[in-house]
Structure 1
Amino acid sequence: MILFGHLGLTTGVIKTYEKITYKHKDLEDRIPIDYRFVLFGSVLPDLIDKPIGAFLFRSTFHNSRIFAHTLLFSTLLVLIGVCILYKNKKNNILFLGISSFIHLIFDSMWLYSGILFWPYFGWKFPTRPEGNWMLSTIIKLVTDPTIFLPELIGFGIIAYFFVKLRKANKFKEFLYKGKL
């Protein structure tokens, strides 16, 4: 996945979770989900790893999936989020970590165990073949259904929520509070 697949599908997963689990809760007991953290967390591994592994330290790592694409990274975010939830009754970091973990699932990171379970299999990250990964990603976006279908579905989900916010005139509320 590239962008809309991560953003839209993660938002859809969390919104479905919210609908199912919060259905029978009183509004006073409910801690609202800030979807700004969900959106940010859904692309956080790429926001960290792409600049580091593909641009800044390309000759060192030879890989654009490094630290933030590990189970360790997402687990630490979730554990920090659980502590903050327990102490301050805020779930923002928890959903940042959950969204980051969902990113790993959508990237099929189980196929790259040397990265997913880093540093268990060693401190060095596996290298990816050199080449123009950006061009190959664009070609896959146009030709590979496993890439363009999640992008289209994700775009549809984001468009749905965007239109819904615009119609209800709640776009500012989303920007300030993250409420969908």
Structure 2
Amino acid sequence: MIFFGHVGITTAAFKLYENTISAKKVDKNKSYIDYRVVAIGSVLPDIIDKPIGAYFFRSTFHNSRIFAHSLVFSIFLIILGAYFFKRSRNNRIITLGVCSLIHQILDSMWLYPGILFWPAYGLKFPTRPEGNWIASNVVNLLTNPFVYGPEILGVIIIGYYFIKLFINKRVKEFLKTGRL
């Protein structure tokens, strides 16, 4: 999965969750979901790992899925987020943690246990023979239904919410508050 699949599917999962808890009459003003944070969190592992593993330290890691694609990263964010949520009712950090966990699920990280369960198998990350991952992603996007399918679904989901915001004249509100 590249970008739209991560953002769209994660947004849909959070919207489903939000609709479920609002049915229980949770005070939306005290703890609502900031979908700007969801968008960032859904691609956070790639934002962190791609530059580190594929560019800056390519000769060290030989892998563009490293620290932020591990469970340690997501669990750390979730625990830190739970602490801040308990203190201030701010759910942004826990949202980042859950989004990064969803990212790992969408990336099928269970196929790479040396990365997912790092550092349980040692401190060194396994190398992945990626070659040029950008070219590889483009080829997969054009030929692999397990890549282009979620991307198309993500575009549809993002498009739906964007059109809904536009029709309801709430784009500025979304940019200020992150509410869908």
Q: Which runs of 5+ in 2 are unaligned?
A: none
Structure 2 counterparts to residues 167-178 of structure 1, below 5 A: 167-178=167-178
Asked whether the equivalents of residues 75 and 97 of structure 1 are also in contact (C-alpha less than 8 Å), the reply is yes
RMSD: 1.1
**How does the TM-score come out when normalised to structure 2?**
0.97
In structure 2, the CA distance between the partners of 1:97 and 1:133, relative to structure 1 (3 Å rule), is: same
One-letter code of the match for 2:167? K
What CA distance in whole angstroms lies between the structure 2 residues aligned with 1:28 and 1:57? 43
**Counterparts in 2 of 1:155 and 1:93: CA distance versus 1, 3 Å:** same
Per-residue CA distance 1:108-145 (angstroms, 9 max, x = gap): 00110000010010000000115222111100100000
Instruction: Work out whether residues 22 and 30 of structure 1, in 8 Å CA contact, stay in contact via their aligned partners in 2.
Output: no
Change (3 A) 1:73 1:28: closer
Q: What 5-or-longer segments of structure 1 have no aligned partner?
A: none
Q: What residue number does 1:92 align with?
A: 92
Q: How many residue pairs end up in the alignment? A: 180
AA of the residue aligned to 1:141: L
Output one character per residue of 1:41-94: Cα deviation in whole Å (capped at 9) or x when no partner: 000000000000001110000000000000000000000110011000111111
Whether 1:72 aligns to 2:99 is no
Asked if the contact 2:30–2:89 (Cα under 8 Å) also holds between the matched residues in 1, the reply is no
Provide the TM-score with structure 1 as the length reference. Answer: 0.97
Could you say which residue in structure 1 is the equivalent of 2:7?
7
Q: 2:148 maps to which residue?
A: 148
Counterpart AA for 1:36: R
